[in-house]
Amino acid sequence: MSLHEKIWFQGSPLMWLLWPFSLIFGLVSALRRQLYFRNILPSFRSRIPVVVVGNIMVGGNGKTPVVIALAEYLASRGFRPGVVSRGYRAHPPVYPYEVIPDSPVGEAGDEPLLIRLKTGVRVVIDPRRSRAVGYLENALDVIITDDGLQHYALGRDIEIVVVDGKRRFGNGRLLPMGPLREPASRLAEADYVLNNGGEKEGEYPVRLVPDKVRRLDGMEAVLPEGTEVCALAGIGDPERFRRTLQDAGFRVSRSIPVPDHGFVTEAEVRRIAGGLPVIMTEKDMVKYGRNHIEGFYSLGVRADLPSEFYDRLTADISRIQKERGIR
């Protein structure tokens, strides 16, 4: 655990050294938000419903599996969803950039490419999310934005906030004193709050259910329960993936430290793994070319959401579409 994570989640008097910077961050963020709400700064409003899936805390909280689950569910119910993303660490030749199954991960980014491969829906990346929405809106009837809760230049019809049920909000302070992008009170303004790994009244529970272990080319693999493995997780909370592997029956004796969205070469992975099978997240899997590599495996997870959540969400989207004459 890094120093700032210890300050955020375990507590330390050092955090008070960062208090002036958190005060400035909070004031600037609040001012910026008010400028958008008062229409002093322009905000783009799409003709079709826009559903923002985001969070108020930095780091991983299971947001991408939720986006995938929403896109798959809406498509199965006859909607025509698409996904837009900032494309963090993506380097496309042009914006907006539509991700296709054969897109190089360096152009598309790991999460957008994974969403495209898992769902089959159209995925477009652009730091200006409003431009990505404009690119897609005439061909679809609902758009999901992967992250972007604080991207107020894009108007939204429905806000879904995903909360880490175990870490919650750490020390509850704004960046950099704490892990929050916005105050915890922001949850009261969201339409839905999803709780990943915990239980709290008024929040819908999310369970991340492990899939089957697969080779990197997608073929099912056979790794017996109790197999000693090395974990590789370039996500915001790698410890969660370690727990997932343990819950699936594996003995995790080694872990490879990878920054969120980071990459470790195959040679370095093998050196650290020391001959053990390496199991990585699906987000990491797309970085290795999706071809079979001996001893490399992936374990995906799916977001299990209650039917009450889906029923309410589809009713809200259908109502908005009807009001706008879309369906």
Residue 75 host element (H or E): helix 63-76
Phi, psi of 310 (to 5 degrees): -60, -40
**pLDDT tens track for 101-148:** 999 999 999 999 999 999 999 999 999 999 999 999 999 999 999 999
Burial class (CB in 10 A: 0-12, 13-18, 19+), 40: exposed
Grade residue 166 by pLDDT with cuts at 50, 70 and 90: confident
CA atoms within 13 A on the CB side of 319: 8
Tokens of 204: 């819908």
**pLDDT tens track for 181-215:** 999 999 999 999 999 988 899 999 999 999 999 99
Phi, psi of 154 (to 5 degrees): -110, 120
Average pLDDT over residues 148-164: 96
SS3 percent helix, strand, coil of the chain, rounded to 5, is 35, 25, 40
**pLDDT tens track for 315-326:** 999 999 999 998
Average pLDDT over residues 257-263: 81
Q: Where are the domains of the chain?
A: 40-206+305-323, 209-302
Grade residue 3 by pLDDT with cuts at 50, 70 and 90: low
Average pLDDT over residues 85-94: 93
**pLDDT tens track for 4-52:** 777 787 777 778 899 999 999 999 999 999 999 999 999 999 999 999 9
pLDDT at 81 over 90: yes
CATH architecture of the domain 40-206+305-323 equals 3-Layer(aba) Sandwich (3.40)
Other Cβ atoms less than 10 A from the Cβ of 244: the count is 20
Query: What pLDDT does 73 receive?
Result: 98
pLDDT at 160 over 90: yes
Query: What pLDDT does 164 receive?
Result: 92
Strands 204-215 and 192-196 turn out to be: parallel
**pLDDT tens track for 272-312:** 999 999 999 999 999 998 889 999 999 999 999 999 999 99
Rg (CA), the chain: 20
Percent of the chain with pLDDT over 90: 81
pTM for this model (two decimals): 0.94
Average pLDDT, the chain: 93
Query: What pLDDT does 1 receive?
Result: 57
Other Cβ atoms less than 10 A from the Cβ of 267: the count is 8
